[in-house]
Structure 1
Amino acid sequence: MITFLVRRLTTSALVVLISSFLMYFLVAIAVDPLSTLRASTMPTLAKQQQMAHLTAVLRLDEPIITRYFDWLKGASGCLYGQCNLGTNWKTHEAVTSMLSGAVVTTVQLVLLATVIAIVVGAAIGIISALRQYSGFDYSITFLSFLMYSLPVFWVAVMLKSFLAIDFNDFIQNGGQFSAGWIIGAALVTGLAVGAACGGGRARLLRIGGITAALVAALMLYSNVSDFFVRPSSGSPLDLIKVLLISVAIAFGVTTLSTGLRNRKALYTSLTVAAIGGGLYYPMLFFWNGVSGSWLLMIGLAVVSAAVGVGVGYAWGGTERSRSARTGAITAVLVAAVLFLDRLAQTWYDYTNSTWVHGRPIATSGDSTPNLAGSFWMHTTDLLTHIALPSITLVLVSMASYTRYVRASTLEVLNQDYIRTARAKGLTERTVIMRHAFRNALLPLASVVPVDILFILGGALITETVFGWSGMGHLFVQSLHEEILDPVMGYLLIVAILAPLANIVADVLYAVLDPRIRVDA
């Protein structure tokens, strides 16, 4: 492994060096910092003086190769903490400062979208494979190819229209669903869930009917309680909602993790759900008494996982580790429910603030200018701004993950060890979750790292449409203004991430699949 890493890192460094020279040469030829002055109507003498001054400052009269080696000397300083990638000659801002801000913005934009796309895409792909040649499978295949083929800018514009403008109008009109919306949403959801569960027509009608009734009941409840106006206020009714959601999470996690027949694991997850409900008001008191931060929330998530592990070991059983795993996953999800409920309590104040004016879903930018308020107010603002671009990235990325996982699952289900597991009398849940699921995700190990590291280079079109000042926006703006150093800073990061992503993918695949030996 060490030999493999050294060899790959050495060749990658050589690739980055050669590519950086080619990119510098091409960009230096393409951009012309003097173009604005040439088109200027100022007096000729003043124009010539300014052009001569800018030529001297940017060293445009020197050979490109000389300027490249000077830039490379500053870039190599990043290896020992003295990074110098030049400056924006128009604003005199250091490129390193520009990149640091752009990277943070891009990470905020793509991280949540990538995680959701992977989780949802993998789940849909496995269900589609298990329901092969069914109506659900054909529908998912059609939608996957459709979303994969649609232009990103078109999806973004449609989301702006329907999920921002129309939804904001919906909230301003009281947030009430019409009878047509309730009936339509209930029927579509019921049909989709029934088809995903599979079985005969009677089973489809039973599950679909229950799902449709539940969706209709929830939409009627939202009308009665003005859910979209004030989703939570910390009342006893909100506590009951949190408890019901936590119990549903406990059953769902146990079903996927160990199966409901494992009573110790089920009791563990239900105990964790009860603890979460019992901490509802103490946590509200705690959050109101401290200054919130993301570091604090991450710490609380770690503590929640530790509590779940402790509850799992306390219940014991023949396989304590499985109960502990179930408890940890349930605890983190229940903690997330408490976090979201606290955010929901800020929704009314945020929506009716003087900065938002009753239209919370933003169509441009990454934050509301001059917004004042607590951590919860700013977090709500971040989520409302990140919603549309995240959904855009999810819809486009999820399509490819769904196809990958579906094809991989179909291949795994035909393997001999799956037939052997079924012949031994294992339940279908155990066969799918413990044998097929893990092996079906192996191809994603070579795809996901590349996608994640490449997307850190900037979701160029999405950032442009939604006005996010990330890596993609920095590249486009600097190239448009013909400023060399920020463009090279962006290209350098992309050039480093490309081979690094492939190395991570190779190592991860070798770790997950013992049949692969990277030193071979």
Structure 2
Amino acid sequence: MLKFILRRLGSSLLVLFGASVLLYVLVINSGDPLKDLRESNADNREYLMQQRAENMNLDMPWFERYWTWLKGVGGCFVGDCDLGTNRSGQQVVDLLALAASSTLRLVVLATLIAIVVGVAIGILTAIRQYSGMDYVVTFFTFLFFSLPVFWAAVLLKEYMAIGYNNWIADPSFSWSAIIAVALVLGITLQAVLGGTWKRRLLTFAASVAFVCVVMPYLDWLNFARYPQLGPIAIALVGAATAVGATALGAGLRNRRVLYAGLITVAVGVIAYYATYGILWEPTWWILAGLFVLSIAVAIGIGHAVGGFSKGAASWVSVITALVMGALMVVEQLFRSWPGFLELKNRPISTIGSQTPNFVGTFWEDFLDKGAQLLLPTILLTLISLASYSRYTRASMLEVNQQDYIRTARAKGLGERQVILKHAFRNSLIPITTIMAFDFAGLIGGAVITERVFGWKGMGELFATGLDQVDPAPVMAFFLVTGTAAVLFNLLADILYAVLDPRIRV
């Protein structure tokens, strides 16, 4: 295994070296970095040209400039990273740190959401192959996959930013909107839950009735401007999570696992009151500590209550604890929403990663950055969602045809165990490959997204360097994206070898 990893690592380094040389040559030959100054009528034009030439080392042959950059990259391994300066004399390392933090904040969230939702949709469509839901999901996944990014971004800006900002000034639900939402939800739920026509009609009617009651009630509460959740709603959602996680993970007949989840809900309600003052104005370190503590307590509850099923009980407890913690964060965001609207009456901006000179509480600042993150995250998620759902569906369908799946069903195992413990686990190899490539691909693909939404991230760093014929920012972009692509490719190969030992030879 070690020999396999070293061989793949060596070939990966060669790929990075060759790609870096090619990209450097292409950038420096793509134009004249002094063009704007040559056309300038400024009195100090010669001085500016000399200064820029010194910043970019234009007096050196290209191979010496590349070797200087390569030595600076090598210094990163000993803590002395030097990626040169851009044409204005700014250290590219500092620019890269700011750009990478902005882009990773966007890409990590989009990737996690796309993995969870895409894999779940892929499993559902594989189970309901050739059903109405399968055809509808297939249509929308291909639609999302083929959407031009810039066009979809414009639509999001128009309807989810400008349209929402206009609506939130005086929010209300018309009956036409209520009926439209009710019909969409009813059609969606009956397609997902399936069953006989009688069951489908009952699901559709219940969904429509639920929406027609809840939305006018929320309108009466003015929920859009003064949202509220409360401990009762948090407890109910937590209990539903515990029941659902138990049904999927161990089956509702396993009472110990169910009790572990419900006890976690009770502890979460107690924690709601115990941490209320702490969460009023926290720090990121406090939130991280509470996150670790909640997982530790959940694992302890699972081991104490789970008995012989303490592993499954721990997983159910952890999932329930995470949902309860997320709901407590949402509760604080709800309470801060009216104050946030007073500071920013049009909450969702179409440009930038945060509002300039915005001053507010911790949660109001969280809302500001989260609102700016919303549109590009949705866009990147929709693009990745198609790949995850289709690959998961194809992999699940292929595995379902294997002999060991038929054997598992013939032994009398429940469909839940067959799907989650046998089919899904054995369909992970192609899904693992997509996860490895997608993260690196999204960093590179975020160039257009960041350009459209005005984010000062990796995409903006790359585009600016390319426009200015400045190789230093472009090579910094390559260093992150190229290394990520190669490393995740290597990681996929290693995971392949771990999951299937035959690949090692």
1:286-301 equivalent positions in 2, closer than 5 A: 286-288=278-280, 292-301=282-291
**Per-residue displacement from partner, 1:129-155 (whole Å, max 9, x unpaired)?**
111111111111111111111101111
Query: CA offset at residue 113 of structure 1?
Result: 1.0
Distance of 1:404 and 1:329 partners within structure 2? 25
Cα-Cα RMSD: 1.8
CA contact (8 A) 1:304 1:331 kept: yes
Distance of 1:93 and 1:57 partners within structure 2? 9
User: Partner of 1:131 in structure 2?
Assistant: 128
CA contact (8 A) 2:238 2:265 kept: yes
CA contact (8 A) 2:27 2:470 kept: no
User: Partner of 1:65 in structure 2?
Assistant: 63
SS in 2 for 1:230: coil
User: Partner of 2:208 in structure 1?
Assistant: 212
Of the three residues 366, 369, 372, the one matched with 1:379 is 366
User: Partner of 1:474 in structure 2?
Assistant: 461
Distance of 1:302 and 1:359 partners within structure 2? 35
Indicate yes or no: 2:218 matched with 1:222: yes
**Per-residue displacement from partner, 1:311-337 (whole Å, max 9, x unpaired)?**
222223332221122111111111111
Distance of 2:236 and 2:214 partners within structure 1? 13
1:485-496 equivalent positions in 2, closer than 5 A: 485-496=472-483
CA contact (8 A) 1:308 1:331 kept: yes
User: Partner of 2:73 in structure 1?
Assistant: 75
Q: Which amino acid aligns with 1:68?
A: Y
User: Partner of 1:37 in structure 2?
Assistant: 37
Q: Which amino acid aligns with 2:76?
A: C
Indicate yes or no: 2:452 matched with 1:465: yes
Query: CA offset at residue 259 of structure 1?
Result: 1.8
Q: Name whichever of 154-163 and 291-300 sits farther off.
A: 291-300
Indicate yes or no: 2:235 matched with 1:243: yes
User: Partner of 1:19 in structure 2?
Assistant: 19
Q: Name whichever of 465-474 and 207-216 sits farther off.
A: 207-216
SS in 2 for 1:429: helix
Of the three residues 399, 410, 431, the one matched with 1:444 is 431
CA contact (8 A) 2:123 2:393 kept: yes
- Identify if the C-alpha distance between structure 1 residues 279 and 329 changes in structure 2 by more than 3 Å, giving closer, same or farther: same
Distance of 1:433 and 1:56 partners within structure 2? 61
Query: CA offset at residue 386 of structure 1?
Result: 0.4
- Identify if the C-alpha distance between structure 1 residues 266 and 60 changes in structure 2 by more than 3 Å, giving closer, same or farther: same
CA contact (8 A) 2:298 2:321 kept: yes
Distance of 2:190 and 2:386 partners within structure 1? 21
Aligned-residue sequence identity (percent) comes to 44
CA contact (8 A) 2:405 2:418 kept: yes
CA contact (8 A) 2:257 2:309 kept: no
Distance of 1:504 and 1:22 partners within structure 2? 24
SS in 1 for 2:130: coil
CA contact (8 A) 1:129 1:410 kept: yes
Query: CA offset at residue 52 of structure 1?
Result: 4.7
Q: Which amino acid aligns with 1:35?
A: K
Distance of 1:346 and 1:374 partners within structure 2? 8
User: Partner of 1:422 in structure 2?
Assistant: 409
CA contact (8 A) 2:384 2:438 kept: no
TM-score (norm. length: structure 1): 0.93
Q: Which amino acid aligns with 2:160?
A: L
Of the three residues 135, 150, 153, the one matched with 2:150 is 153
User: Partner of 1:85 in structure 2?
Assistant: 83
Distance of 1:157 and 1:263 partners within structure 2? 51
**Per-residue displacement from partner, 1:453-503 (whole Å, max 9, x unpaired)?**
232346011101111111011100122123221112112323322221110
Indicate yes or no: 2:348 matched with 1:352: no
Indicate yes or no: 2:175 matched with 1:188: no
Of the three residues 357, 382, 397, the one matched with 2:384 is 397
User: Partner of 1:99 in structure 2?
Assistant: 96
Q: Which amino acid aligns with 1:21?
A: V
Indicate yes or no: 2:487 matched with 1:500: yes
Indicate yes or no: 2:250 matched with 1:258: yes
Query: CA offset at residue 375 of structure 1?
Result: 1.8
User: Partner of 1:328 in structure 2?
Assistant: 318
**Per-residue displacement from partner, 1:436-465 (whole Å, max 9, x unpaired)?**
222233311111111112323460111011
- Identify if the C-alpha distance between structure 1 residues 408 and 53 changes in structure 2 by more than 3 Å, giving closer, same or farther: closer
Q: Name whichever of 381-390 and 497-506 sits farther off.
A: 497-506
CA contact (8 A) 2:52 2:87 kept: no
Q: Which amino acid aligns with 1:240?
A: I
TM-score (norm. length: structure 2): 0.96
Query: CA offset at residue 56 of structure 1?
Result: 4.9
Indicate yes or no: 2:6 matched with 1:6: yes
- Identify if the C-alpha distance between structure 1 residues 258 and 215 changes in structure 2 by more than 3 Å, giving closer, same or farther: farther
Distance of 2:481 and 2:218 partners within structure 1? 46
CA contact (8 A) 1:458 1:471 kept: no
- Identify if the C-alpha distance between structure 1 residues 50 and 461 changes in structure 2 by more than 3 Å, giving closer, same or farther: closer
SS in 2 for 1:227: coil
Query: CA offset at residue 57 of structure 1?
Result: 5.0
Of the three residues 298, 316, 319, the one matched with 2:306 is 316
Q: Name whichever of 182-191 and 438-447 sits farther off.
A: 438-447
Query: CA offset at residue 49 of structure 1?
Result: 5.4
Q: Which amino acid aligns with 1:34?
A: L
- Identify if the C-alpha distance between structure 1 residues 243 and 54 changes in structure 2 by more than 3 Å, giving closer, same or farther: closer
| Misfit runs of 4+, over 3 Å | 46-59, 514-517
Q: Name whichever of 387-396 and 478-487 sits farther off.
A: 478-487
Query: CA offset at residue 48 of structure 1?
Result: 4.6
Query: CA offset at residue 53 of structure 1?
Result: 5.1
Distance of 1:453 and 1:218 partners within structure 2? 42
- Identify if the C-alpha distance between structure 1 residues 316 and 12 changes in structure 2 by more than 3 Å, giving closer, same or farther: closer
Q: Which amino acid aligns with 2:330?
A: L
- Identify if the C-alpha distance between structure 1 residues 89 and 268 changes in structure 2 by more than 3 Å, giving closer, same or farther: same
User: Partner of 2:264 in structure 1?
Assistant: 272
CA contact (8 A) 1:31 1:479 kept: no
1:138-177 equivalent positions in 2, closer than 5 A: 138-173=135-170, 175-177=171-173
1:194-205 equivalent positions in 2, closer than 5 A: 194-205=190-201
CA contact (8 A) 1:31 1:484 kept: no
Distance of 1:47 and 1:304 partners within structure 2? 62
User: Partner of 1:341 in structure 2?
Assistant: 331
**Per-residue displacement from partner, 1:37-82 (whole Å, max 9, x unpaired)?**
2212346xx5455445544553323321122222222222112111
**Per-residue displacement from partner, 1:172-214 (whole Å, max 9, x unpaired)?**
11x2211111111111111111111121111111222223322
Q: Name whichever of 49-58 and 180-189 sits farther off.
A: 49-58
Q: Which amino acid aligns with 1:170?
A: W
Q: Which amino acid aligns with 1:32?
A: D
**Per-residue displacement from partner, 1:106-131 (whole Å, max 9, x unpaired)?**
01111111111111111111111111
Gaps of 5+ in 2: none
